[in-house]
A and B are shown apart, each in its own frame.
Chain A
């Protein structure tokens, strides 16, 4: 079956709409409404004169969907290409669901680790350090470091997805996000060490000689280690802050 190609305007619309993937995030279908909304311009093109099939296609994309939002671009692009093949009668509609379900979990894990576990901490701590010089410098660093990578990966992921599922998987291999994750985690650790050093040097050392300074450094390192151990034991930052608030109230009361 011959069918009209995806118009440039529709492709741009799908690209723009991916930024609202979580616009109706809910506990049941999670990003399902956002995904259906994002792919809708492409479906309107592919099923222009076939309302029944368009309806079936929209229902397909209202199924449960959840992944890391930036990595959603890759799945979205590949789903557009798969829909094109389904509309042309070259693929089984069930292949789309299988592809989405198969990829959303693993891409979610890769994306969570890269974006939330490495890139965001790195950008945050770089921003916090530079904000000590000037607040606007810190904000600029945070936004540029994060979005430089974030928007590039979204753009490249979407383009790779538009080459089809094979292109998407090939791009994922070439992108080597696991290696990039480790690099950024290490950089985040270096910057966080610098951040801890600056604050410990500022707040803990109020006078005294070298022994006092050394004791302050050891105390600060022990505090960081203790907090890290508590985080590993699933104690949340809020619980630690609440405890400190309680101690503060006791100090005031005394």
Chain B
């Protein structure tokens, strides 16, 4: 298990760097991160299932100006690792799946608080950089940036360790305490989650024609899916 956590820390740190500090190539998106964490903890498909739902849920919150959206990367680290472990122990039934997705909100908010902390510490780094430049040290700019990057990377690695650890603990210790029947009751909330994700995209893609296009497509695909299921 130790090497799995080591891998989770390295991959998680990399994905967290992509989130704010470097590149923004979308390696930090929940679909990517949850699938990676699923693969690291033994079941890529289970991680991807969580990633598919988490991918859209937080899109409505844009990283505009100084506002920080919830940490969906952290939610995916937690959800992906937890889903993979659950699938190999109690099984990833609909109730467990719903519980993991809902519990990930706690992680997303904790990650957001950590992000805010890093940006506050960076204020100090930026001030020190400016003071050094005032004294004639131009290279301080490179040192300042390196310090900021390091802080983002280290925080990302710590968060990846904590969140993947929490995911493993939840799947090994918390979920088995509830019987299959109790977990089954939880599954009643499952349909709301993908719909919340779709609403998230819908609300940030608003144009004059969005509503008509969205609901017509939804009805057509729904009809197709139901007919396919009935004929199968």
Query: A residues bordering B, Cβ < 8 Å?
Result: 19-20, 22-30, 32-34, 36-37, 40, 51, 54-55, 58-59, 62, 66, 69-70, 108, 112, 116-118, 120-125, 127-128, 131-132, 135-136, 138-139, 142-143, 146-147, 150, 182, 185-186, 188-205, 213, 216-217, 220-221, 223-228, 231-232, 236-238, 240-242, 244-245, 247-248, 251-252
Contact = CB atoms under 8 A, between A and B. Distances in A.
A138 B36 CA distance: 13
B74 interface: no
Given A193-B215, A224-B198, A248 B145 contact: no
A223 B196 CA distance: 8
Contact of A139 (B35, B145, B206): B35
Contacts of B126: 24, 26, 28-29, 32-33
A27 B66 contact: yes
Overall SS of chain B's interface: helix
A22 B21 contact: yes
Contacts of A55: 133, 136, 138
A197 B220 contact: yes
Interface string B12-51: 0000000011111111010110010010000011011001
B46 to A, nearest CB: 10
A121 B201 contact: yes
A34 B219 contact: no
A13 to B, nearest CB: 11
Contacts of A150: 24-25
B133 A59 contact: yes
Contacts of B101: 241
Interface string B134-149: 1010100110111111
B112 to A, nearest CB: 8
16 contacts: A24-B125, A33-B125, A37-B144, A37-B145, A59-B134, A121-B204, A122-B205, A128-B55, A190-B217, A194-B221, A197-B217, A205-B226, A226-B199, A227-B195, A236-B60, A252-B186
